[in-house]
Structure 1
Amino acid sequence: MKSTQSVSVDGLRIHYVRAGQGPAVVLLHGSGSSLEGFERVAAPLSASHDVIRPDLPGFGRTGPRPDRDYRVRTYAGTVARFMTALGLPRFAVAGNSLGGNIAWNLALDAPDRVDRLVLVNATGYPAKTLPAGLRLARNPLLRPLLRRWLPRGATERGLREAVGANSAIVDDAMVERVHALTSRPGNRSAFIDFATTDQPDRSAEIPRIAVPTLVLRSADVDGQHFARDIPGARERVHADGGHLLPEEDPDWVAAAITEFLR
């Protein structure tokens, strides 16, 4: 992977990778992940676009926020200021899971900045099933322990639960990468802070999203009604994907995004 660059936003250094030329698109990873989550989508997309992948605050190399504010709406504001710092007033945004939640909040709060919106198994509806990592982090008995130590086996189990038919992607290299980044100083505590943050329910506002939207969804992933609620949204459903579609089937995701952004 290319070495990361960094820029100062909201009192922390946001690390990112940027490649390609053309209209700007920012790819936002999910919780417990990092910019590597979109790496194999970014490669073909960068043939026609300026592709920017940040490590979101609390994750990857960016690390914890000094103010410990992990509300999704705060993330959306940080991403907007991050893109301003890069000199990009308008851009497309695509997000997986938490990244998708941040992306649609950004489309609501800064519609003048967002050209196109791509939601990949995005979250934000209250009925969504929680992944294993969030369930663990919300357990008050385990919380103090998890701030200090996370067993590698728990990382592997969480990844295996998150994928669909293409479970072969959860190999030693993937587990090691995710575990190492999760174990960076401050990241475990940041994840607990994120997992226990009270997130206001904005799902009733989703029908107000007015930017062109593509919804990419795995058939077995529950709690998503974006195609129903966003006026004019297009939807494509992956028959056997899990929650981590950008890593499970990056060619499918990249082709769908490229076609949508044309």
Structure 2
Amino acid sequence: MKSNQNPTSGTEVVSVDGLRVHYERAGQGPTVVLLHGSGSSLEGFERVAALLSSSYDVIRPDLPGFGRTGPRPDRDYRVGTYARTIARFMTALHVPHFAVAGNSLGGNIAWNLALDAPERVDGLVLVNATGYPGKSLPAGLRLARNPLLRPVLRRWLPRSATERGLREAVGPKSAIVNDAMVDRVHALTSRPGNRSAFVDFANTSQPDRSGEITRISTPTLVLRSAEIDGQHFARDIPNAQERVHPDGGHLLPEEYPDWVATAIAEFLRTKEERR
């Protein structure tokens, strides 16, 4: 599990589970891991990381199948597999315990990690996280599940589709979707193997572990946009705190990074003071 600098991207790289996991790390203090959502990359938490790094050791990986890390050789995109990979990733970085915050899929991975390795997770922040059945799917996942479109999407995705997906993912007052953002997301999505990995991920059968959520014992903060539906973490996790943003969309860490970073910092600071 050797870690080294990647000179072409500015990220660092560590070998885990046969993957070259790309990540960025900045700051000093207690460690916080930030996990992005599906179709995104470590840039999804860029501004949040910059704000937190004055007080924390902030680590942002590109999850397998996305960003610069690229597809898994075994094509296993179950959330439980993601959680085990992140645990081994943190072991490779010699970090025995940490807080973890995740957006969407990243939040799903985070709470699965808290269930499976509670001795390692000091704090849990779920940002528009997923994991309950019945949640409405974004357009990209719906398209990737269409048997007629799957072969096409493995080879080609128009930039216009990337832009449309981003605009659907943000709140009505958000102005963050511009040419630079669309170009960045589209370029990372178009890296070799990533489109096919997204189709594999979208068509992976995910075991329903929502009945186990009540067993989470890690101190938890739930950050949710008012328009996000069907998720009940604040109800089901004992003593969980919740904050709701009235205007945010699915990409809350990019739309309102100051709000997200402040909420995370206050939660972690309060948690430390209570120890």
Instruction: Tell me if both proteins adopt one fold, taking TM over 0.5 as the criterion.
Output: yes
Match of 2:159 in 1: 152
Residue correspondence of structure 1 range 1-262 to structure 2 within 5 A: 3-262=10-269
What SS does the corresponding residue of 2:25 show, helix, strand or coil? strand
**Aligned residue type for 1:11:** G
Q: Deviations along 1:142-171, whole A, 9 cap, x unmatched?
A: 000000000001001100110003331000
What SS does the corresponding residue of 1:169 show, helix, strand or coil? coil
What stretches of structure 1 move > 2 A for 4+ residues in a row? none
What SS does the corresponding residue of 2:175 show, helix, strand or coil? helix
Unaligned runs of 5+ in 2: 1-8, 270-275
Shift of 1:3: 1.1
The percent of aligned pairs where both chains have the same amino acid is: 84
How many residue pairs end up in the alignment? Answer: 261
Contact persistence 2:174–2:248 (CA under 8 A): no
What SS does the corresponding residue of 2:111 show, helix, strand or coil? helix
Q: Deviations along 1:10-63, whole A, 9 cap, x unmatched?
A: 001000000000000000000000000000000010000000000000000000
Contact persistence 2:124–2:218 (CA under 8 A): yes
Contact persistence 1:166–1:248 (CA under 8 A): no
Looking at structure 1, the residues matched to 173 and 190 of structure 2 have their Cα atoms a distance apart, in angstroms, of: 26
Q: Deviations along 1:106-162, whole A, 9 cap, x unmatched?
A: 000000110000000000000111011100100000000000000001001100110
TM-score normalised over the length of structure 2: 0.94
Contact persistence 1:121–1:221 (CA under 8 A): yes
What SS does the corresponding residue of 1:115 show, helix, strand or coil? strand
Looking at structure 2, the residues matched to 8 and 158 of structure 1 have their Cα atoms a distance apart, in angstroms, of: 31
Contact persistence 2:52–2:261 (CA under 8 A): yes
Looking at structure 2, the residues matched to 75 and 67 of structure 1 have their Cα atoms a distance apart, in angstroms, of: 12
Contact persistence 1:133–1:158 (CA under 8 A): yes
Contact persistence 2:34–2:60 (CA under 8 A): yes
What SS does the corresponding residue of 1:167 show, helix, strand or coil? coil
Unaligned runs of 5+ in 1: none
TM-score normalised over the length of structure 1: 0.99
Looking at structure 2, the residues matched to 31 and 80 of structure 1 have their Cα atoms a distance apart, in angstroms, of: 19
**Aligned residue type for 2:86:** V
Cα root mean square deviation, aligned: 0.7
Looking at structure 1, the residues matched to 53 and 135 of structure 2 have their Cα atoms a distance apart, in angstroms, of: 32
**Aligned residue type for 1:191:** F
Looking at structure 2, the residues matched to 213 and 248 of structure 1 have their Cα atoms a distance apart, in angstroms, of: 22
Pick which of 84-93 and 2-11 moved more.
2-11
Shift of 1:206: 0.3
